Structure formats: structure tokens, C-alpha cells
Structure 1
Amino acid sequence: MSTDTSSTSTQTMDQVVLTGVGGPDRLRLRRAARPVPGRGKVVVRVEAAGISFAEVQLLQGLHPFPPRLPAVPGYDLVGRIAAVGPGVTGHRVGDRVAAMPRAGAWQEYVAVPAGGLAPVPEDLDAPTAVSLVCNGVTAWQMLHRRARVRPGRTVLVQGAGGGVGTLLTSLAVHHGARVIGTASPGKHDALRALGAEPLDYRCDLRAAVRELAPEGVAAVFDHIGGKSLDLGWSLLAPGGTLVSFDSSVEGYQPGQWFRPHVPAMRRVLGWKLRALLGLTGGRRATQYYVRPGDAFREDLAALFGLVGEGVLRPAIAGAYPLAKASAAITELMERRTLGKLVLVP
């Protein structure tokens, strides 16, 4: 990744900038002025920022809500408050916090709204903490707030080797659920260690899942979208829940920002209408999108507690400096990782 060092002020910082649609080579490391907190905001010195498929979609011109380029990517972060803006109460310089700005985390300092902050334990390392901010809360809320899976039930986790998938698998097993997880064969041993029953995502999933769960599954967690949702719906037991939380962008052209996500929206809406008419046998479908707020803070605190108790051990696939953001995103795009990739400024 090339570097722009035109500014040398002591009040500058490093940041990763997406300069255009394309591959990892469109990411640039540059110097920029440190932000100043406006009213209701704080500036956080970033300790770790997450890397996710949202950034892959941005690179490929296929994110449903693209920023104006050039832009700093980065969905979530953990760090310490370095400055407090006017009107902020309850937060002080030095507080360790998590935030989910959805963009802008891939830099040394970030200005974020104070109302979206969550406290972070002092004894938790930054890569582990940031792996729980977006991915962990997503997994927790899909399991407990959307699907409301009961102990003893069977669930199917698509992409169980990913950042969300590994946490979802661990949380479901801890909750007493049986987990069938799809992944490439190279990740199967790791999934077994988490307590899952792995399946090759390229196999005949309908037949394989039916063999393991003849009566169907209580929940399907799907990050693929499209026809994969049809498969998941067909595998639900009566009263089961299908949770769609992303859409694959494979096969779409750069610039089709929202198009990859329309098939999932149409399917879920159709099943919701049928459920209202009582035509689904109690089965239901929902789309999930993580949001800040009181529930976010409550669930993140619960996740931090599980890590502190030694119950949850998030898989960190790698921690990279900002200058290696291109290499990190390449690893994610090539699906070589198990767990969460992070940037450490």
C-alpha cells in the first residue's frame, strides 16, 4: 500500500483511505489532520479497528450504503478517549470505550458521537475487544433476540468459520444448542473444537442437514442471501426462524451498490407476508442489522463478561498495522482466515 507523507505536523495522524472502487491496491496510507471533537462528540485514540466484509463490499463497489470517495473505511473500534467535545457528560479523557461508527475507524484518531459509546474492561486486549463490538453483538442478538433459540435445539450456521460465525457457534454451544456449521474443509477441525458439527459448504447441504436433523432446524443464520435463503427456509422446523444478516456480492458488477441485497429483501418480505396470513407453519424470516443503543451496550457487556469468565474465546485471525491494510483485506477476500482480522494503529 502506497504512503502519502506530505503533511508532517505534530497534530497529524495516519489513516487508511479508500480512493476508488477496485482491489486492495485502492487503499492508501496517508497523513491527515487529527479530528477535533464537535458538540456531543469525543475523539478516540484507536487501539484496534475491525476488518469485515463491509469493507470488501466497499472495495468492490457493492456496499448498499457507499460513502463519498475518498473515504476512510472501518466499521468498529476500541480505544481511549483523547478529547471531549462541548455538551458531553459521563465520559472523560482516558476512558476506554468501544464505538461502531460504521465508517472511519481505520485511522489513529476518530471523532464519534458520545451517545454511541460503550465501556470496555481494562484487562481485555484490544483485538479481542473489537472482535466483539460488531461481530459479537451481531452473533448474540441474532441468537438471543431474533431467533430466541432454546437450549437443546439444533441450528445451522452458514459461514461458521468467519468472524461472526465462530462467535455465533461458540455462543450457541455455550447456550446448549446443537450447531451444524458450514465452512471449507480446512476449518473443520477448528469448528469441531468449538463444539460444532461441520459440513463442507460445497456439499449437497439440503441432504446433509436433513440427515443430521431429519425434523428440521430451529434456526438458520445466513450471510449469503439469494437462493441460499431458499435452502435455509426449506430446512426450518415448524416454528423455526431464518435470520438473514448479509448478502453475497459474487457475480455482481462494480457500481451495483444495492442490487446484490435486493433478492434477500424480497424473499424475507415475502415470507413475512405469508406468516401474517398463517401460511408458514409458524416459520418466520427476518433480516438483521446491528445498531448502537441500549441493547447494544447491554449485549456487549454480556459478551465481555463471558470472555472474562473464560467461557468465550474469540478467534483472532490476525492483527495488522494500518500500513498492512491491503494485505489484511486480501486475506479476508481470499477466505483464508478463521475468525476476526483487525488493524492495530
Structure 2
Amino acid sequence: MNDPRQASDRALMTEVVLPGIVEPAGLQVRQRPVPVPGPEQVLLVMEASGVSFAEQQMRRGKYYDQPPYPFTPGYDVVGTVAAVGAGGDTALVGRRFAVLTKTGGWASHLLVPAAELVEVPAGVDAGQAETLVVNGITAMRMLHRIARVKSGQTVFVLGANGGVGSTLVQLARRAGARVIGTASLRHQETVRELGAIPIDYRTPDLTAEVRKIAPDGVDAVFDHIGGEGIVASFGLLAPGGTLVSYGTASTRDAQGSSKLPVLKLIARLQLWNALPNGKSAHFFNIWAGKRRADAFQARLDADLTEVLTLLADGAVKPQVAARLPLSQAAEAMTLAESGTVTGKVVLVPDTAQDGHAAPSGNPE
């Protein structure tokens, strides 16, 4: 694209807009002119953007710091640079990058800061790379920077068939840890293949089932559910163990404040940290430290590059639940919320609009 300003006058892009608190069918697909990158920006052509739990919360108005409606969701994206802003590095054009966006990823084209691009290794499929952007960073940091899991330890992963959970299982096994993970009966074989010992999440006494495997408790628990169940998670820890909470899925459909469940959870974790039992409890926020932009981006670059390298080397198996075209974002959201898939649902460009073949929406 030699002159992106002229191209934007004739080219249209597609974006999905969340207009307010709606059911998935209420998502709106719109078109507008392709934007022009400004200084220090690039124009990214989306190749894959994920449907994460964050978007499920956002459509309910339950994500902690979501922007005002209307806005375009899309927590992370993988795409190819089509143009750079004035004075930008033209060597970026034509190369594939991953970006952590929080919002804006559900669009055929988007503007992102050039400084936030993380290159995807050559030969890596865009959809597979996408599953490991926010999920890979989250799992890597929780496992190694917070819980500091070591070989020979035992960890417990709630939702081991999910996007973050399945990544956690693989990274923990790679670190030499034994993994116990919850999943529905239909997903237990997949969880077992990833290397974890599966437990049905609907088991009446989940604590007792975990204790059968780890009588003295576990060294780390990774809990995305929150709510009152967090008490049981903390109780499963062995002396010196670490609880890492990274979500409040149990309150997804609850009425009221979007912030209160998170604040109550953090207060509870802080209270537990004051107890003289040698255990620790943490709430993981991927955006912590964002105010120190350079240091934040340097850590993100390092962590995401490591995860994508593991993917390129075959050390981590991506869990792509399904690929659906951008125009079917409502169907993708419905599928992601159904609890019937393993891994992450991925949005890809539409064939006619964006010039790319849209893979099948069937689970892979």
C-alpha cells in the first residue's frame, strides 16, 4: 500500500460493534473507511482475533474497566502490517505480528502502536498463534512469575480445557509438575492427552477428589471462577502453596456492579495473605504495570515471544476450538459461551470483504 491515505478513501473495512448490554445476536457488523495510520502507528490487517471470557463479560457490562458503549471488542489480534504512519519503519509492511489490544481486535483493519507489535515466528498459523497471545502471557506469568512452579510439584487447574487452562496444563507439565485439572466428562480425554489428571468439575465434593490424588494439598491452584468457591481453592493449598486467582466467572451473570465482585475477591486474598500459615494468594491482572509503558511492553515482548517460540517448536499445542468469519461474531460468541468446546474460538476475515479464505466454523 504505497499511499494509505488515498487507499482509505476507496477501501472499506468491517468491524463488529458492541452497542450495549445485549445478547450475542445484538452484536452489530458495520463497515467504514479503512483508517489511516498516524505517526508511530501501523495499519494491521486482521488474520485472527479471539473470543475470550473478557468479551463475554463486556457484553453483559461486567468487565472491570471496559470502555463506554458502543465499542469494538477484541482483546488480542494477529495480523499483517499493511501500512505505517509518517516516518514509520516501512520494513514492518508485510510482516505478521501479534498485539494485545483489550478492545478493537474484532475488525478487518485496525490501527495499533508500532511499539506494541510482537513478531510471530515464520510458518506459524495466525489462528494458532492467536490462541496463545493473552492466554499464553497469562499462563506463563501465573505459572513462573507468581506461583514459581518447580519440577516435582503438584498444581490444580480449574477449567483445564479452556483457553488459559489448557495452556497452563501444558506449560506446567513442561516444567515437570504434576497437574490435576477440572473439565466436563466430554473434555476429560483431551485434558488427559494434554498431560493432566482430569476431574469432573460437577463432582459434589471437589476438594475430596483432589485430596485423593494429593493428600497433603497442592503447591498451586489456578482459579478463574472466583466467588465463594475461592475458599475451597485456598483450602487445597499445601503449606507454602500459592493460589492465583485470575477471574470471576461465577459472577458473570450476576446483576449489579461489575467492579464489586473483583474488589471483594481482592480484599479476601489480601486478608489471607495476612494469615500466618505460609500460604499466599494473588490476583492476576495482565495490565498491571501498564503505567510504566516501556517496562510493561518489554515484559510483554519477552513473555509472548517465548510462548510463540514454544508454539513454533512444537513444545506447546494450540487449542483452536473453532474458526468463524468476522461477520459471524454472534455465532462465535454463542459457541464460546456454550461450554461445549476445548480451547479458544477464533474469528478470521470474511472471504469476500477482506480477500482471505474463511476457514470452516467447525471445531478443529
Short-chain TM bin: over 0.9
Q: Contact 1:163–1:338 (CA<8 Å) still a contact in 2?
A: yes
Equivalent in 330, 335, 342 of residue 339 of structure 2:
335
Question: In the alignment, what sits opposite 2:153?
Answer: 153
Q: Which residue does the alignment assign to 1:290?
A: 286
Residue equivalent to 2:246: 245
SS of residue matched to 1:286 = strand
Q: Distance in 1 between matches of 2:139 and 2:23?
A: 28
Q: Deviations over 1:141-178 (max 9, x none)?
A: 11111110001100000111101101111111111110
Runs of 5+ consecutive residues of structure 1 not aligned to the other structure: 1-7
- Secondary structure of the corresponding residue to residue 143 of structure 2: helix
Confirm or deny: 8 A CA contact 1:84 1:91 kept in the other structure: no
Q: TM-score, normalized by length of structure 1?
A: 0.92
Q: State how 1:58-77 maps to structure 2 within 5 Å.
A: 58-77=58-77
1:206-225 to structure 2, matched below 5 A, reads: 206-225=207-226
89 and 286 in structure 1: CA distance in 2 versus 1, 3 angstrom threshold: farther
Task: Return the offset for 1:9.
Answer: 6.4
The 8 Å contact of residues 60 and 253 in structure 2, kept in 1 or not, is answered as no
Q: Distance in 2 between matches of 1:36 and 1:96?
A: 19
Structure 2: runs of 5+ lacking an equivalent? 1-7, 288-295, 350-364
Counterpart position of 1:319: 323
Query: Does structure 2 retain, via aligned residues, the 8 Å contact 1:37–1:43?
Result: yes
> Kindly tell me: are residues 103 and 300 of structure 1, through their superposed partners in 2, closer, same or farther at Cα, counting changes over 3 Å?
same
Indicate the RMSD between aligned Cα atoms, in angstroms. Answer: 1.7
Q: CA deviation at 1:17?
A: 0.8
User: Residues 107 and 218 of structure 1: is their aligned pair in 2 closer, same or farther, counting only changes over 3 Å?
Assistant: same
Q: SS at the partner of 2:92?
A: coil
Partner SS, residue 345 of structure 2: strand
Contact 1:46 1:108 in 2 (8 A): yes
- Residue 80 of structure 1 corresponds to 80
Report Cα offsets for 1:15-71 as digits up to 9, x if no partner. Answer: 111111021011011101212212222111111011101101011121111222111
Structure 2: distance between partners of 1:224 and 1:200: 15
Q: How many residues end up aligned between the 2 structures?
A: 332
Aligned partner of residue 166 in structure 1, secondary structure: helix
Counterparts of residues 111-130 of structure 1 (less than 5 Å): 111-130=111-130
Quick one: which amino acid aligns to residue 215 of structure 2? P
Change (3 A) 1:182 1:90: farther
Q: Which amino acid aligns with 1:69?
A: Y
Cα shift at 1:89: 4.9
Read off the aligned partner of 1:252 and give its amino acid letter. A
What is the match of residue 17 of structure 2?
A: 17
Residue correspondence of structure 1 range 223-262 to structure 2 within 5 A: 223-248=224-249, 249-253=251-255, 256-262=257-263
**Amino acid corresponding to residue 233 of structure 1 in structure 2:** F
Alignment correspondent of 1:197: 197
Q: Secondary structure at the match of 2:240?
A: strand
Query: Residues 251 and 325 of structure 1: is their aligned pair in 2 closer, same or farther, counting only changes over 3 Å?
Result: closer
The answer to which of 8-17 and 104-113 deviates more is 8-17
**For residues 40-51 of structure 1, what are the structure 2 equivalents within 5 Å?**
40-51=40-51
Name the CA distance, whole Å, in 2 between partners of 1:126 and 1:307. 11
The answer on 1:168 being equivalent to 2:168 is: yes
TM-score (normalised: structure 2) = 0.88
Instruction: State percent identity of aligned pairs.
Output: 44
Q: Where in structure 1 do 4 or more consecutive aligned residues deviate above 3 Å? A: 86-91
Q: Within 1, Cα distance between the matches of 2:123 and 2:181?
A: 31
Query: For residues 65-109 of structure 1, what are the alpha-carbon distances to aligned partners after superposition, in whole Å with 9 as ceiling and x for unaligned?
Result: 122211100000011111212454596212211101100000011
- Aligned partner of residue 293 in structure 1, secondary structure: helix
